[in-house]
Structure 1
Amino acid sequence: MSNKTWSISELAQEFGVTPRTLRFYEDHHILNPIREGQKRIYTHRDRTRLKLALRGKRLGFPLSEICSLIDMYDGPGSTDTQLKTYLDALQKHKSQLLQQKADIEQTLAEIDYQEKQCFALLQHHS
């Protein structure tokens, strides 16, 4: 493992986030930088945890689930168990998103229908 460390601005720049984002993840115990006075020093572990947190965010996971998945990755355990837990989380999240997509499509179809009704009524009254 590398002994390389990063400052808050270096890590923020590398991942295209703001220092405020890093402090947010620190407040939620995802990142745990070494402190030298006011200066934060991020380790390889912090960098990996940030990468996982941002991936979870991109996938739309809630913060609580991101935290538990990262902690699982960080803790002891077999890779198979970790992969199965992650796969379960992905499948559950995918199912929720597919349901939301179906709900949105149904709502959009209803809006289309209502729009057509309004246009027809407007034409009729013209």
Structure 2
Amino acid sequence: MTQHTQDDTFSIRDLADEFGITTRTIRFYEDKGLVTPTRQGQRRIYHKRDKARLKLILRGKRLGFSLDEIVHLVTLYETPNDKLPQLQVYLETLTGHKETLLQQKRDLEQTLIELERAERECRQAIAKHDDVAPESTSS
């Protein structure tokens, strides 16, 4: 069993504070097997590997990756041999997300055009209605 110095270990609170996330989030990733702290009684002890994995997980989340994609990428990252397959999978994942976001952007731009047209037509209809409003009659 490897001995760890205090500098190599972190509490769940240490990691939560460092990454700006909740301890519940870290426990969720633990439940998914993405981080694997050791235990001293009820206390979780996280190591450098857990910290590095957590950093990768959060980066994947920021980039919009699914949890399955994150698991796959984290697993690839830890493969000790040739990095080229890792980079190729990462590039494919990035490219796929970029294409999805570009399509969403195009869809949003089209939706905004349609909303502006509908808004303009609605304002024109209101203006016409106001122009032909019946006059009040006085007796």
Pairwise same-fold verdict (TM > 0.5): yes
Q: Which runs of 5+ in 2 are unaligned?
A: 131-139
* Alignment correspondent of 1:29: 33
State the TM-score, normalized to the length of structure 2.
0.86
* Alignment correspondent of 2:49: 45
Aligned length: 125
Task: Name the structure where helix makes up a greater proportion of residues.
Answer: 1
* Alignment correspondent of 2:126: 122
Deviation of residue 75 (structure 1)? 2.4
Q: Does 2:27 correspond to 1:61?
A: no
Of the candidates 3, 15, 22, which is equivalent to residue 19 of structure 2? 15
SS of the counterpart of 1:87?
Answer: helix
Q: Does 71-80 or 50-59 show the bigger shift?
A: 71-80
Q: Which runs of 5+ in 1 are unaligned?
A: none
Deviations, residues 1-43 of structure 1 (Å, cap 9, x unaligned): x851100000110111110110111111111111112111111
* Alignment correspondent of 2:136: none
Deviation of residue 46 (structure 1)? 0.4
* Alignment correspondent of 1:90: 94
SS of the counterpart of 1:96?
Answer: helix
What letter is aligned with 1:67? V
Runs of at least 4 residues off by over 4 Å: none
SS of the counterpart of 1:97?
Answer: helix
State the TM-score, normalized to the length of structure 1.
0.94
SS of the counterpart of 1:42?
Answer: strand
What letter is aligned with 1:6? F
CA distance in 1, matches of 2:32, 2:106: 33
Deviation of residue 82 (structure 1)? 0.9
CA distance in 1, matches of 2:66, 2:30: 16
Q: Which has the higher contact order (CA 8 A, sep 6+)?
A: 1
CA distance in 1, matches of 2:55, 2:17: 13
